Chain A
Amino acid sequence: MPKRNDIHKILIIGAGPIIISQACEFDYSGTQACKALKEEGFEVVLINSNPATIMTDPETADRVYVEPVTPETLCKVIEIERPDAVLPTLGGQTALNTTIDAAKTGIFERYNIELIGASIDAINKAEDRELFRDAMNKIGLRIPKSGFATNMQEVEETARRIGFPIIVRPSFTLGGTGGGVAYNMEELADLAKAGLDASLITQVMLEESVLGWKEFELEVMRDHADNVVIICSIENVDAMGIHTGDSITVAPAQTLSDKEYQALRDASIAIIREIGVDTGGSNVQFAVNPENGDIIVVEMNPRVSRSSALASKATGFPIAKIAAKLAVGYTLDEIPNDITGETMACFEPSIDYCVVKIPRWTFEKFPETDDILTTAMKSVGETMSIGRTFKEALQKGLRSLEIGRAGFGADGKDPAPGSVAGTDLEYKLSTPNSQRIFYIKYAIEHGMPITMIHELTAIDPWFLYQMKQIVDLEKQLKLAGMNLPKDLFEKAKKYGFSDMQLAYLSGGLTDKQIEQKRKALGIVPVYKLVDTCAAEFRAVTPYYYSTYESECEARVANRKKVIILGGGPNRIGQGIEFDYCCVHASFALREEGVESIMVNSNPETVSTDYDTSDKLYFEPLTREDVLHIVEKEKPFGVIVQFGGQTPLNLATDLQKAGVPIIGTSPESIDRAEDRDLFAAMLKKLNLRQPDNGIAYSYGEAVSVARDIGYPVMVRPSFVLGGRAMKIVYDEKDLEEYFDLAVQASPDKPVLIDKFLEEAFELDVDAISDGEDTIIGGMMEHIEEAGIHSGDSACVLPPYSIDEHHIRQMSDAAKAIAKELNVKGLMNIQFGIMNDTVYIIEVNPRASRTIPFVSKAIGVPLAKLATKVMLGKTLKELGVTKEIIPSYYCVKEAVMPFDRFENVDPVLGPEMKSTGEVMGIDKDLGAAVAKSQFAAGQKLPKDGTVFISVQDKDKKAALPVAQRFHDMGFTIMATRGTVTFLEENNIPSTLVKKVSAGRPHVVDAVKNGEIQLILNTGASSQTQRDGYKIRRAAIKYKIPYATTTDGARAISLAIQAMKKEKLTVKPIQDYHKEN
């Protein structure tokens, strides 16, 4: 059946901001779908609030609404656009939920709009636990037995029905406390009693425990002619009990015989049919009992997912693209397989390599949270690696993680042998955590039998033996020392050992010496194709991975080519924004007729889509791996300035190895990063930076801080990304900081900067060809200086900055760009205090805000910067003047606090946000309101606002309180604030602090008496009370602000909302106004 011609206009719902469990995989799938549908001649309308996505580029869809992904917005867009169909299965859980909620309003019937991909019925059947259970039972499959109980008698009855072991989960608790696994009635009685107490509604859920069962996922596709294919099987190395997003996984499944695999295949096909997903992809998760092969269905996602993105990258089969085509009427047998070019998409990929995915966590950002993995996902990113053996793929994956490891240990980063042992080691093995893979290594080294490691971890012995083989070889390598014989050398590379590891194991050689020896022996990697068919057919799409074998398949073209180094795994501080820039670089190269070669290890991204660039190398971003590609391809240049910190860290090493880095030189990058060089440059240009100094001891720190004057910002020189950075107000604070956080030493000094208190902070992005510099955009931070720019909301153009300061900043940016001979992008952070403009930081490279600015002004800065790097001037590119939009664009950060127990959700100098959203409107307040809704803050129009601010913020809070009062809000406050407000003639009602007895403010939150919370305070004294209020806000999903600036913005937003209903408008229409 060919394409439908009864529909013409299709609305696609995006996933919104990057949050934990919903990352850029949905940009990848959404972009694929938009492209596929446009190719087919459909008019594509898109809603997505995430400006850092490729899918919200004005070229990706015909009309792009950068608006909150909420049922309200969806309805508004539908009313304007009147699409024929809505495709809800490509934007993750957000898109599904938004669709279900919008459907309840009857809007789809009202405008006769068809849901394509999955119907509301199918979505409900997969999402509703009871409907799902019935559906599974109907086809002879089962899900874990479970039941609710509200008293001990019910607990006993339910337990008898389920059988032990049983998982006890109290319903609705603060902090998920009170749960556990019970192996007998006695344990159950204890656990259930505690659970009933902990539950706010005195209820516990009892569930059949499948902890320790093996976990598998199958990616299924179905077309409307009922053809069904399995694209990929994935086996979780970590057994049931850890969220699959937090599990190390491998494709294809490794420990299933054909009989068992076919049973899962049959089940998956039956499930997609029974749930009734008409067209598209679904993900089915199974638990398999390792003792007897019993199968339990864990869940089914009737949409593309993180796993489907992984499966697409692991097999070369573009699930989202095909899903989009199936949704508009094609059948699988009508769609060609792009990779081979000669076969059809109706088949099941066969792969001839092993794929390993490893999650990337950022527990270091949230020290208050225990590094423990459970069924709630906590990782923020992942890497994928491909090898011809599991061992090779595992080691490549570990060195891709950007955690400073060169592989599976053997890099000098492990604790001394024997120092981790005994119950400590057993605890680390039996309690899943982000470092467990390394503890397995220590256990093997310690001589712990595989059977015991298996008992402690529930990881299948097959994987453990693979790890043991690596450890065994490591021992041999260590014995061989500096004179590695060729066969052992070769074996080491086949086992995935990096030159760094071999250098460490040699006991004296450097990785460069290892490299020389290796090359002298002729041991170099070859590149193999990911071709969907295990070489059965010729493949046309150049998607490569490295391995150590005999035949290289890389087709090296004899034309001008440029390598783009991607950003590696997403983590906090380095996310989708950099992938966006890399993808634009690729687009620019293509436009200029230059071959684009992408190198990256992140399977979630658009950059690792096989048709983004002319060539894709799915490889770790390390010096060794990148150099091999450069040696093979001999490019005209390598772009390092778009992929964030990862490629930037390689720049100097690569240049030393003779790699042509194009764009701004590594020396210039260094001039901006090196403290002394930077100060010298600013002096030369007659620009000011906040006073600063460096201290090698506590004593020195005290005197430096005295000279500069408090408050100061202190941070260790050796950590990046704002880690352990703190604003210090007096000597006592400083002492505490040194006591708790850092120790200054000659090789690890502490940097001290004057803190610009209550200063305005601005981010400026500019593009330069070395001669001319054009300001891309100036963004005024909503929060005052001191909050990491990545976590601060900002507004483009600035809304409260004097004209002469703007001119000063613009001039400074131009002078710096010229001085550094910037060829490409540059970001500067400015602070303005007491009428003085300070330069806080200069980064001569793509910044996190490039996609936001590009969306705001309608100019693709990263693309243009790439063309500059290739030698074009800005004049030639027609970039001659700064665009200052006539509307406001607000960027708001999205925080992961709801994922991390015990973390105080206050903003500070260390970045903690995972994503961002954009709100656009003529009116500043409305733009802020949109950004808040997009970020998940449901701002109220009336009700009660709770205000509690520390003394230093009281003055600033006053006008905000006044505005809420004027707007008719009831103000609730604790004693101190009530008195202060009374003095200023603002009435308020008193509520007790948590520490002052009940009923207190948290009770009021629970009882739904508070609709908005303004609570500031980062210092340790306010911890106790403020912390409880802030956590309650998160738990009960009450909008909140933790800074007075944030509160002021919210008050403006509510004012705008009360004045006028928020409207929607596509980004293309905004851009026409520029």
Chain B
Amino acid sequence: MILIVVEHSNGKVSKSTYEMITAARESGREGPVTALVLGSSVASVASEIALVVDQVLVADKPELTQYDAELWSAAVAQIASEGEAHTVLIGGSRSGREFSPRVAVKLDAPLLEDVISLKDNSGVLIAERYTFLARVTEKVEAQGPVVVATIKPGIFTPAAPGTNAVEQFDADLDLPPRRLQVTGKTAEKTSRIALAEAEVVVAGGRGVGSAEGFTKLVEGLADEIGAAVAATRAIVDSGWRPYSEQVGQTGKTVQPKAYIAIGISGAVQHLSGMNKSKYIVAINKDADAPIFKIADYGIIGDVQQVVPAMIEELRKK
């Protein structure tokens, strides 16, 4: 069977899970697509996923309220062994990429990380993935009877739910103790559309000048067009913006229809988080900024002049 570890939040199945189901079905690997739901009070998640897979396993336990790499990897490896899964698919989220290596070691399996394609070739799994800060596409082959893969979000088309729900089974788990104690949490909050799901992203770099400049230019433009807001590492390190808005090697990876970069020079670490965007728009006063090399549209000019003029132009309609 193909085991999919369901990603969910606030009682709903995440888009990344539907993408994993497509990856599973299009891989050419045989056997039922089985969803594993881990969490507590996850009945709604289990019912939702039951409309789109062949089997559902649910571990609804208070110990699973809070994610933990050791608990999650133990649960997934146990279910994969007992169900004789030959393929284990995990989301390419921060947590998925953190616990999946432990699953691979437990199962003595190879790990395909953050894949953008997945195809069976006579029992061998072949995948493509981005490497070298997302500048190279590499093709790799995973050998062995069991393969673990994390699926890069935003690549596969989300699977459409059917109308018939499959039966749900309770998973009986033997969980290890929790060793990493979480003592506090800072949650991301935004009134705007989520960065990973936005069709248009407006991003700001040092060139916006100040936190106030970011609010006026980047948030101002984003609100005018209903876009999500993003920032560079430099801006986040300066404390102007929260980490949740950071795009790049150490932040989020996005691929919207349009990425509008305001006052961003285009360091390779930042580009690795957005260089797959359909259209890249750059506004920067420095004509030699690397961002212009990958821009579809752009203006070489003062962001303090150009962006307010754009906002005004948009309001005219």
- B is bound to A: no
Point out residues on A near B: beta carbons under 8 Å. none
